[in-house]
Amino acid sequence: MYLSVGIILGVMVVVYIIALRFKLSTELAMLAAALVGAISAGHWFPVRHVAEGAITYLDINLIFICATLFMNILKESGGVAFVVRSILKNFHKSRVLLLILMTLLLLIPGALTGAGSVTVLITGSLVAVVLTYMGITRIRTAAIIFLCAGLSAAAPPVNLWAMMSAAGVNMPYVGFFMPLLIPCVLGALFTMFFLGWKGTKIDVEKAFGELPVPPVKMNWWRIIIPFLIFFGLMFIGRKWPHDTPVTGLPLMFLLAAVAAWLLSPVKLDMFRLSSDTIKQLLPLIGTLTCVGILVQIMTLTGVRGLLAITFITLPAWLVIGSLFFFLPITESVLMYGSAAVFGVPLVLLFNSMGMNPIIALAGMTVIWPLGDALPPTAIIGRLTMDVTGTTANYGKFLKQCIVPAIMIMILGTLMVIFSKDLGFLTGL
């Protein structure tokens, strides 16, 4: 039995590699591997399993769409530009405060949407202008934005890797807020200060000349009220869970988006904005859909069980000691699919060892986003270089990321090792 399942796994891996060699996208390569795997196991084209797998992560896709629509409305209405210009105007004399606030601006979009690419597209270009006029080279600016964008995707309330892994082991996505918030903020601040501390006095006038000008009627209340609605709904649901109707994150984001649209000082073409949001997220939606199909077929053929047993029987020191290498590599190959394929057996392993699965999973999700800069995909890494206008060699960009990335890996690995001692964070 183990041999036959191992052969099926080998066939799926070979098909995936061949598909990538023929320049198919990662999503289509995963789909091809899943379908050929099903055929090699004698199931031919299992329509029901393909359909079920395709909607496995429908709720997460809805979160992506509604949250990104919310952020796009804020950007199109001039809210993001207003915030950046206001911060620059009031804090340009303090490099420390300016770097801290730029870090927070980079963390918010990805934290709300679960996608680092949204951070790069929404606030990345504006923050890049500020950092460049602070005397930070473009290559370092690109490294800062990429690493902070990755950590923003891992930050709460929406962490896709944690959601997918938790769903695979039937573990509620509860108690992750502080275990995710603390390492993401620490890692982002270290990155910002390590790469951005050296520079020159900011040229405010030139920076203002390059930043977009927000509408005259834009103010802080038009920006704050939608966030108050979102976080208010979240607080009410957690404070009085038995007396509050279950709204869910997609509806919370949608209500916040409606508020941002109604409060916009300029007229917005919502049809165009909604269409652009779907186009922007199409690669992510496609990835999650194909990952769902892949995981479903792996379960059907027994491959998923084989992987789980293999991980559980490995020496603990070997698994933990290789996380810093293994997790980014799997992310670079499977992107978000790495959480569904490998995150589930790792959570089961750590739970069987008496570790706190929430803290351990949070630690792993801090490391996973680093793989988004590695070939063969490197989608967010290359997107960051395009948005920031960096023309340097890609290898030089990776070199700038090394020291902060090592710090983030150490932080995530320590969370796994000391997960039991850090269990109190789940109750905060």
Burial of 241 (0-12, 13-18, 19+ CB in 10 A): exposed
Catalogue the E-assigned strands of 44-89. Answer: none
What pTM did the predictor assign?
0.85
Residue 209 φ/ψ, nearest 5 degrees: -65, -25
Q: Helix and strand tally (H, E) in the chain? A: 23, 0
| Token pair belonging to 328 | 């980014």
Termini Cα distance of the chain: 46
Alpha helix (H) residue ranges in 77-176: 79-91, 95-113, 116-119, 125-132, 138-154, 160-168
**Which value, to the nearest 10 degrees, does the dihedral of the CA atoms of residues 266, 269, 274, 279 take?**
-110
Q: What is the pLDDT along the chain (428 residues), one digit of tens a residue?
A: 678 888 888 888 899 889 888 888 878 888 898 899 899 888 888 889 889 888 888 887 888 888 889 988 988 998 888 998 888 888 888 889 999 999 999 998 888 888 888 888 888 888 888 888 888 888 999 999 999 999 999 998 889 899 888 888 888 888 899 999 999 999 999 999 999 888 778 878 888 888 888 888 889 999 999 999 988 988 887 778 777 787 888 898 899 999 999 999 999 989 999 999 888 888 878 888 888 888 888 888 888 778 777 777 778 888 888 888 888 888 887 777 778 778 888 888 888 888 999 999 999 999 999 988 887 667 788 888 888 888 888 888 889 999 999 999 999 999 999 999 998 988 76
Sorted by where each begins, the domain ranges of the chain are 2-427
Residue type, 115: A
397: which residues sit within 8 A by CB, 6+ positions away? Answer: 139, 142, 143, 146, 373, 381, 385, 390
CA 269 to chain centre: 28
